[in-house]
Amino acid sequence: MLRRRLIRHRGVRKKIKSFDLDITSLLDILVILLVFLLKNYSASNVTLNIPENISLPRSDSQEVNTESVVVQVSSERIWVDDKEVLNSNTAKSKIYDDGGRRIISLYNELVEKKNSFKLLEKATGGGQEFSGNVSLVVDKKIEYSYLKKLMYTCASAGFKEYKFVVLGLEE
């Protein structure tokens, strides 16, 4: 039997109901993600690159990293601000001088860095003074004999305050 529309319902258009997407659960997920990222937020603007063959020692120090020249040291290579200055596998010239206490290529690079800082300080007048800080990113297996050479070289080049970069413990 055919369905007939009642006379009273003729001319009345059915309202098309809009589809409402419930985004409350999506918002919950995003707020949780936001809280997690807020916890990991770092206000420090210092970025340090750790080469892949360097494992840092762990420490419970809470000192935040400061802006300084970065010397990265693995068992075979040395970098200064990500620029390789020594590769003991391929080095052809003499590596040490001053009675075997100073690393020549590292010393030369650090002196160049110090001179450029001093030049900048002079050019800008009341600008930031040369701090003499050096951040040492050293592999944990390095022995003190090599570390002593690094520290002596840095001190000879005019960098008198060492900042040993370490992995902080989980809070």
Partner 1 sequence: MYRVPSHLQRRNKERTKLNLIPILDSVFIFIFFLLVSSNFINLKEVSSVVPILSDSAPEKNEEPLALTLVIGKETIKLTTGLNSKSVGEFKIDEISELQKALSEIKANHETEKTIIFEPSENVDYEKIITLMDAVKQDSSKNELFGNIIFGNVME
Task: Fill in the amino acid letter for 12.
Answer: V
CA distances from 144 to 104, 138, 150 (A): 19, 11, 10
118 vs 140, which CB is nearer to partner 1?
A: 140
Q: Report the interhelical angle of 104-123 vs 144-156 (nearest 10°).
A: 40
4 vs 151, which CB is nearer to partner 1?
A: 151
26 vs 91, which CB is nearer to partner 1?
A: 26
With b for 16 or more beta-carbon neighbours within 10 A and e for fewer, the 97-125 pattern comes to eeeeebbbbbbebbeebbeebeeeeeeee
Q: How far is the CB of 64 from partner 1 (least distance, A)?
A: 7
Instruction: Give every CB contact of residue 85 below 8 A, 6+ residues apart in sequence.
Output: 78, 79, 105, 106, 108, 109
Q: How far is the CB of 47 from partner 1 (least distance, A)?
A: 9
Q: How far is the CB of 39 from partner 1 (least distance, A)?
A: 9
> Which positions lie near partner 1, rule CB under 8 A?
20, 23-24, 26-27, 30-31, 33-34, 37-38, 40-42, 44, 48, 50, 56-66, 135, 138-145, 147-148, 151-152, 155, 160-171
Q: How far is the CB of 26 from partner 1 (least distance, A)?
A: 7
19 vs 41, which CB is nearer to partner 1?
A: 41
